[in-house]
Amino acid sequence: MMGTTTNIVGAALPALPGVSPESLSAWFVERGEPAFRAKQILDWVWKKKATSFDEMTNLPAPLREKLAVSFRLTALTHAKTQGSEDTTRKFLFRLHDGRYIESVLIPANPALYGEKSDRRTLCVSSQVGCAYGCKFCASGLAGYTRNLDASEIAGQVLAAEQISGERVDNLVFMGMGEPMANFKSLMEAIALITGPETLHLGARHLTISTSGLAPQIRKLADHPQQIRLAISFHGATDEVRDRIMPVNKKYPVAELMDALAHWNSTKKQKLTLEYILIKGVNDELAQAAILARHARSIGAKVNLIPYNTVEGLEWERPAISHCRAFQDVLKKAGVTATLRIEKGHDIDAACGQLRLKQETAEGIV
């Protein structure tokens, strides 16, 4: 007999971490139950982080049974953790269709919050794989499988808090996938992550990273919440960007910069330009000078990241002295530029790597 929680692909029950408070209230009302039941369930799911319907002792047993045949309590199954408590930890999650995604819990980011900060940042995935095929990225290597739904996105935060016993303070959409290509589920998940009855994390603590989907940048700029935005820039000219990021053919640098100028007209927070430094590919100092002009034109800060080796790719990071020289060009031009020495280099922290290993081992990709 088939289980009630892990049905065949595509036939899974809705998972509660993706159900909005409004839909949940409607579900109870339709069944003649009092509306406060929705509040009780929301508390169990989001605040108490229940792992079974049996824990919900303030609900009558028949109602718990009804819930159990109508919903899954969680969207993800924890498959593996890499790393240890005081370092970066990476969680591998299995989805209902047997696919895998990963989230990375980063203990503190002194570069952003000062040495004494104990803030925890969670890096979440938005898709299984990625269709954008950036040449340096493990997520793009195996191609695109599917979008995550809202429960699988918001559920990563819940699961990370449950496993670690710690509260997540910041969220970055920098895991596997292109969040802006999954706009509808992304926005549903953000509503759940920021909602007062659900996770209640401030929008200012959320950063979406995009490879540069100009129309979606404009759309998000017009959304009322003060969400932060980071751009995977990685090349200051069309010539360099075209070579490593196919998305640039569709939305070239000038169009991207226009969309970012629009972003600035509606948002208060500074934009971040991410720039991976890859030896001999995009690390000429002439690129730094052009990057500085772009950053200044939109008042953005720049985050330099030495390339993380990806199995199956031949590229390497430049010497650290060269990274510093690149950073100096930006600083001398008056741009705030940090050089991020990646945490978690040793635990396959670059997006998509752990999942790629697991799915390769299981013969899925």
User: What CA–CA distances, in Å, run from 134 to 154, 164, 172, 250?
Assistant: 25, 32, 19, 13
Contact (Cβ atoms closer than 8 angstroms) between residue 364 and residue 329: no
Q: Does 216 engage in binding with ligand SAH (CB under 6 A)?
A: no
Cβ count within 10 A of residue 211: 26
Q: Name the binder of 305 from ligand SAH, ligand SF4, none, CB < 5-8 A by kind.
A: ligand SAH
Q: Name the binder of 174 from ligand SF4, ligand SAH, none, CB < 5-8 A by kind.
A: ligand SAH
Is 69 exposed, middle or buried, given 0-12, 13-18 or 19+ CB atoms closer than 10 A? exposed
Residues 266-305 that bind ligand SAH (CB under 6 A): 274, 276, 305
Q: Which is nearer to ligand SAH, 200 or 250 (CB)?
A: 250
Q: Does 307 engage in binding with ligand SAH (CB under 6 A)?
A: yes
Q: Specify whether 123 is catalytic.
A: no
Contact (Cβ atoms closer than 8 angstroms) between residue 132 and residue 181: yes
Indicate left, alpha or beta for 257 from its phi (over 0: left) and psi (-120 to 50: alpha). Answer: alpha
Residues 167-206 that bind ligand SAH (CB under 6 A): 174, 178
DSSP letters of 102-162?
EEEEE---HHHH-TT----EEE---EEE-SS--TT-HHHHT-EEEE--HHHHHHHHHHHHH
Q: Which is nearer to ligand SF4, 133 or 195 (CB)?
A: 133
Q: Name the binder of 350 from ligand SAH, ligand SF4, none, CB < 5-8 A by kind.
A: ligand SAH
Distance CA 169, CA 48 (A): 17
Contact (Cβ atoms closer than 8 angstroms) between residue 124 and residue 157: yes
Q: Which is nearer to ligand SAH, 19 or 276 (CB)?
A: 276
Task: Rule CB under 6 A: choose which of 44, 136, 251, 263 binds ligand SAH.
Answer: 136
Helix (H), strand (E), coil (C) string for 172-184? EECCCCCHHHHHH
Task: Rule CB under 6 A: choose which of 25, 182, 210, 327 binds ligand SAH.
Answer: 210
Shortest distance, position 80 Cβ to ligand SAH, whole Å: 20
**Which range of residues in 67-75, 92-100, 113-121, 126-134 is near ligand SF4 by CB under 6 A?**
126-134
Catalytic residue among 123, 134, 351, 359: 351
Q: Does 130 engage in binding with ligand SF4 (CB under 6 A)?
A: yes
What does the binding site for ligand SF4 look like in residue numbers (CB under 6 A)?
130, 132-134, 137, 139-140, 177-178, 211, 232, 351
* Catalytic site positions: 102, 351
